[in-house]
Amino acid sequence: MTLHTWLAFFVACWLISLSPGAGAIKSMSTGMRYGYRKGLYNIVGLQLGVVFLVAIVAAGLGAVLAASSMAFTVIKWVGVAYLIWLGIQQWRAEAKPMEFETDHGASPRQLILEGFLVNASNPKGIIFMLAVLPQFIDPHAPQLQQYVICAASLVFTDLVVMSGYTLLASKVLSALREPHHVTWLNRTFGSLFVGAGVLLATFKRSA
């Protein structure tokens, strides 16, 4: 991979990360509920999901999953169900003031797993990786090194962007501390999760 190719991919990474999606919703939701420090566990999970998707594409499994109607359908509906479940959980969350230092409502392991599943259970991610990554991979050069560079670039940019979303939510949204404000925020993010699930349900392999 030449420097010019990597720079082009690096720009693409920023555009990918900045585009609104389930990861951004999850980051803001976690930042609002638990604060920035605890929200970092969710971000780690999201990045593990990114690495997982790159590994699938690098191993050639992405093309198999994309070509298999049954596999694609199963992954899609698992993703849909998970996003809607997150939305219901957020909608029903207790409307209590933000107490970041003492809030033990979710363990670090749980937040990491939730973040991972948001990205790993999204077939759009696999299809997108299949469409984007091969354009920057030199077939005549060692493949593993190039995929590692691409994964590291994606993780770096997504870490920065998701950290920004999480910090924004923890500092700005948490200023609304009245119970009815918290209820409104919980239901807003819950609706966004459900909306993301509905949009994913309409996604087709030909898209």
Alpha-carbon distances, residue 58 vs 54, 139, 206 (angstroms): 6, 12, 21
How many structural domains are present in the chain?
A: 1
CA nearest to 125, candidates 11, 47, 68, 190:
47
Instruction: Specify the pLDDT at position 81.
Output: 81
Tens of pLDDT, residues 152-171: 999 999 999 999 989 988 87
Residue 13 lies in a domain: no
Residue 206 lies in a domain: no
Structural contact between residues 203 and 123, judged by C-beta atoms closer than 8 angstroms: yes
Residues 67 and 75: their CA atoms lie apart, in Å, by 13
Residues 6 and 105: their CA atoms lie apart, in Å, by 41
The parts of the chain modelled with pLDDT lower than 70 are: 20, 61-67, 90, 93-105, 124, 173-182, 184-185, 189, 196, 200, 203-207
Instruction: Specify the pLDDT at position 182.
Output: 65
Residue 8 lies in a domain: no
Instruction: Specify the pLDDT at position 165.
Output: 87
Instruction: Specify the pLDDT at position 102.
Output: 46
